[in-house]
Structure formats: C-alpha cells, structure tokens
A = this chain, B = another copy of it.
Amino acid sequence: MAEGQRKLANGRERIDFATDPASYKHWKLSTDGEVATLVMDVDENGGLFEGYQLKLNSYDLGVDIELADALQRLRFEHPEVKVLLLRSGKNRVFCAGANIRMLAGSTHAHKVNFCKFTNETRNAFEDASEFSGLQTICVINGTAAGGGYELALAADHIILVDDGSAAVALPEVPLLAVLPGTGGLTRVTDKRKVRRDRADVFCTTEEGIKGRRAVDWRLVDETVSSTKLEAKVAERAQEFAARSHRPSDARGIALSPLTRRVSPDAIDYEFVSVAFNRADRLATITLRAPETSAPASADEIVAQGASFWPLQLARELDDAILDIRNNEFEIATIIFKSVGRLEDVAAYDSCLESFREHWLVGEIRHYWKRVLKRVDMTSRSLVALIEPGSCFAGTLAEIVFAADRSYMFVGEREGDNRAPAQLRLSPASFGAYPMANGLTRLEARFLGTPQDVENARAALGKPIDAGEADELGLVTFALDDIDWDDEIRVFLEERKSFSPDSLTGMEANLRFGGPETMESKIFARLTAWQNWIFQRPNAVGEEGALRRYGTGQKPVFDVRRV
C-alpha cells in the first residue's frame, strides 16, 4: 500500500505509473512536424494525494509521471520529432518546483522515491538528446524556481525571457533548509559549469538571478525580450532540428496500455509476474521468454510495435519496479527469476543486435538501458536465482549482473525434469547497456580483473553451466540441490533482519565501484546529502523550515554544524 500521513486522491490504493496524453491533467503535448511542444499547466486540484494544492505550476509525483510518459511517447510514437519545446501554460510563472506542502506532509520514503523518479525523468531528457537526437529547448517565461529550474537544467538550451522579472532560482537552502534534490547542484557545477563561488551566490539568493547576469554566469543560454520571444523560439527550434539525426520519414508505434491483473499478492503482466510474500518481505519478479520466434526484419518489428517481446518486457518490468519502489516500502528483497528457453531469448537478442541501426530498435535498446539503470538504482536488496528452466540470456543476463548477488543451481533438481540452469551472454553485455557510471555491468563486476571481461567475451553465445559460470566469475555462488534451499533461505532471512537503512547505504556504495559521471554523482553524492537533510529536524522537525514554510512563522534551527 502507498503509505504515509497522506491519502491518495480519489480513493486510490496504489500509485499508478501508467498514463497517456488523453488522460494528462497537467501537461498538453502537441506535435507539428519536427517540433513538439509540451506545455506545463498544472491542475491545482489534481494532486496525487489529498491535502495540498499544486499552485503556480508546482508539482508532485503525479505531474512527473505524466512528464515521463510524454517524453517516452515522443521517443516511440513520434520519431519525426527532433525538438521538444518545454513551456509553461501559466502567465509569468514557469514552474515553482516540487510542491512544498506535499513534501512537508510526505513520509521520508515517499520523498526519497519521488526525488529518485524525478531524477530519472530529468536524466531521460538528456538521454533522449544524446542518443536519439531529440533535443529539448526550455522557454522560461517567468519564475523558474527550485525544481522548476532543475527541469530547465535537463534541457539542451534554456531561453529566459528578459522582462525585468523572469528569473531562475534555487531557493531551497535559504527558503526551505533542504537541497535542490533533482540534480540542481550537480548540473549547475558539472553540466553548466557555473563557477563555484557564483554557484554559492546563486544557491543562496532566494529571488534568483535574471537578465544579463543569468547569461554571464551561464545559468541560462540566452535572454530574449517578450516581443521577440516567439521568433527566437522558432529560430532556435529550426536550428536544433537541423542538427538532429532523428529520421524524418519514420512512422512511430503506439505504446498501447499494458495489461495488468492485480490481485492481493500478485501483479501479473503478460511476460512479467510479481509475487509478494509480505510476511517474509519478499517480491519475486519472474520474467518469461517470448512465445513466438523473433522477427526477421525491422519492418516486422515495427509491425509488432508495442507487442514486440523485448519492448513489452521492458515496459512491464519498468512498471513492476516502479510499483514496488513506490507502493511496497516494506519489501526488503527482490528476487529475479526467469522462465523459458535460453535460445528463444537469445534469438531476440540477435534480432536486436542485427537491426540495431533501425531507429525503433535503437529506442528499445536505450529503453532497456534505462530500465536496467532503474534496477541498479532500486533501494532493495536484489538477488537473481538462476534455476533449471530459466533463461537468463543476453539482455536478461544483465539482471543477473545488476543483482547484489546471484545464485546458480548446479545440475538437476530432484523430481524436476527440466534441464540444468545455464546462462548465455550476447554482445549486449559488452556495451549496449552501460550503468550510470559509464561502465558495462561486466566491467563494473571485474574492476580488479579486466581480463575476466575478456574471458566472458570468449564464452559469448555459448550456453554456460553453473560450474563454468562460477569459474568465469559470473555468479556469486553455484549450489547444488543439497545446499540450495537452505542457503537461499538463510540469505533472505538475513536480509530481512538487517536495518533497511544500512542496507540501502551499503548497496548504494557497493553497486557503483570505480568511475563517476554526472549522473552517478547526482544519484550518489547529491541524493545521499539530500536524504540526510530530509531527516534533519532543521528541515522536517516541528519547527523546521519545510514544516513552517507558508505559516508566517520562522523556522527555528539547531545551529550546530557537523
């Protein structure tokens, strides 16, 4: 259940990540040839939870779910769109950021997962630009404060109206005693490379910065007078469109709604099942192999559209992960299983590999990359159980490498006539799905022994049994029938018994050895600090700034620095 002081609006019991443009409450998406326009016009009374109004284009998770959906649809349904204009539908206000009353009344767990999802959505804008040539121009017509400016920071180009009042601001520190939690600090220093002392001034100036100084300090790319705005926006849109490599003649596919059967202890999609064992704080996600043979041409993939197995599986898995993250806070461990024939999965991986230059296949692979990153960033213990009858091949093998641990069954199970478990690697394991830190999961795994990546490459395309997998270092433990049940049981009980917080911190560190990127810095460095601050009485206590915001009372701080 979605827990917290707050109730979901309209009597709903779970936060639902499925939406479509016809259902949007807060955004208007339109396309006109190469240019799409996404207008933010938040419905004050359309909050996800009861108890607050979304004034001044402030947002909650519900607003962001629609934003993420809009971007996803542009990638799959509108391959002809090369430039997205991100605009406000409100007069003299771009976006006031995350709604403060929503934040003040949310549980810590909801706040953290809300920030995580909004971060993933901002990253998705940058991913769309870098890998799909779908660039975003943000047009700021008024105040862009906090999360409002952080949304702009995700764009490729920021135009600020120069009318003496429109400004960008990160007022979190002076106003709310928290941090800009959606990548703001990191994008200011690492993406826009604002000089650190100027960033200090900017982030402590409640009213923000406007006009010439905003350009000089690189907070925005240009300012334009109100009268010249539309002409300038059109000019920039054309200019950016000319640079894009998106295909001009492609027809999109429809992302039709997923079919979900929700029962008290399970959620069943077509290729994904989630089984909850809440007493043991477990969720088991089972992925099923395709039932049809892989398409022989890119046209056939387009014709299958959203029912093309790799795409449908990715969408179902994505939805399942988001559902657990945001609705099932007490689940300690996610168990990944798979069912099906290794060769069937491998055939689809070969299909993706063969047609990887086709725009749709490219989008599917980039989507899998994002879904796998979502798995990496999920604050639950992750374990893959590789059993007889499983099909962790290629793309699915990435799930094994994303897990904190993996257990592989040696030989046959008594009374089970399925063939012994095998793994299989495909070229996808060697570059298609980099993690947030820029490494493949195998590179991250073998940080100390790069030769092991090459050893794994030598096994590419071959079935790998438990003994070999253990030898190659691809699984944590290979266990036979005698030990399997006990070892798994002890592991799961252990995980259930540990402090959820220390597990979250431990996993966040161990999963990301080696290099850092802007993206990994946002999730690790910035998020960790924000999580800390979200716990501190100076922000969330009775007299803290988040609670007192808008009450007319000043916050009272414990002045000790740490």
Chain A interface residues (CB < 8 Å from chain B): 3, 107-109, 112-113, 172-174, 176-179, 185-186, 188-190, 192-201, 203-204, 218, 281, 329-332, 379-380, 403-406, 444-449, 473, 476, 494-495, 498-516, 521, 524-526, 528-533, 535-536, 538-539, 545, 555, 557-562
Contact = CB atoms under 8 A, between A and B. Distances in A.
B200 A473 contact: no
Contacts of A560: 3, 107, 109, 329-330, 500
A100 to B, nearest CB: 14
A402 to B, nearest CB: 10
B503 A529 contact: no
A141 B503 CA distance: 29
Contact of A193 (B112, B190, B197, B447): B447
A107 B178 CA distance: 21
Given A329-B560, A380-B561, A505-B533, 8 more contacts: A177-B498, A179-B509, A196-B511, A197-B406, A499-B538, A505-B532, A524-B528, A531-B532
A507 B529 CA distance: 11
Contact of A562 (B196, B501, B516, B536): B501
A177 B501 contact: yes
Given A195-B446, A510-B200, A528-B529, A502 B561 contact: no
Contacts of A195: 445-448, 473
B500 A201 contact: no
B499 A557 contact: yes
Contacts of A444: 196
A510 B332 contact: no
A172 B191 CA distance: 36
Contact of A173 (B499, B513, B557): B499
B174 A494 contact: yes
Contact of A559 (B178, B330, B533): B330
B196 A506 contact: no
Contacts of A174: 494, 498
Nearest to A536: B501
Can you tell how many copies of this chain the complex includes?
2
B536 A509 contact: no
A167 to B, nearest CB: 18
Contacts of A406: 197
B521 A528 contact: no
12 contacts: A109-B561, A174-B494, A177-B498, A177-B502, A189-B447, A195-B447, A197-B403, A197-B405, A197-B406, A200-B404, A504-B529, A516-B521
Given A3-B560, A404-B197, A526 B501 contact: no
A312 B525 CA distance: 35
A174 B449 CA distance: 28
A198, A332, A406: residue with the most chain B Cβ atoms closer than 10 Å: A198
Nearest to A446: B195
A218 B176 CA distance: 46
A179 B513 contact: no
Given A189-B447, A509-B526, A529-B508, A561 B330 contact: yes
B532 A203 contact: no
Nearest to A448: B193
Contacts of A203: 506, 510
Nearest to A113: B562
A509 B173 contact: no
Contacts of A218: 448
Contacts of A531: 528-529, 532, 562
B509 A525 contact: yes
Contact of A448 (B194, B281, B495, B562): B194
Contacts of A179: 502, 505-506, 509
Contacts of A197: 403-406, 445, 476
Contacts of A533: 499, 501-502, 505
A323 to B, nearest CB: 14
A244 to B, nearest CB: 25
Contacts of A555: 499
Given A177-B502, A500-B561, A509 B186 contact: yes
B502 A189 contact: no
A125 B200 CA distance: 33
Contact of A525 (B329, B515, B528, B559): B528
Given A405-B197, A499-B173, A516 B515 contact: yes
A538 B502 contact: yes
Contact of A561 (B185, B192, B504, B528): B504
Contacts of A516: 515-516, 521, 525
B539 A501 contact: yes
A186, A406, A514: residue with the most chain B Cβ atoms closer than 10 Å: A514
Contacts of A535: 532, 535-536
A500 to B, nearest CB: 5
Contact of A108 (B107, B446, B562): B562
A196 to B, nearest CB: 5
Nearest to A184: B509
Contacts of A190: 447, 513-514
Contacts of A447: 189-190, 193, 195
A560 B109 CA distance: 7
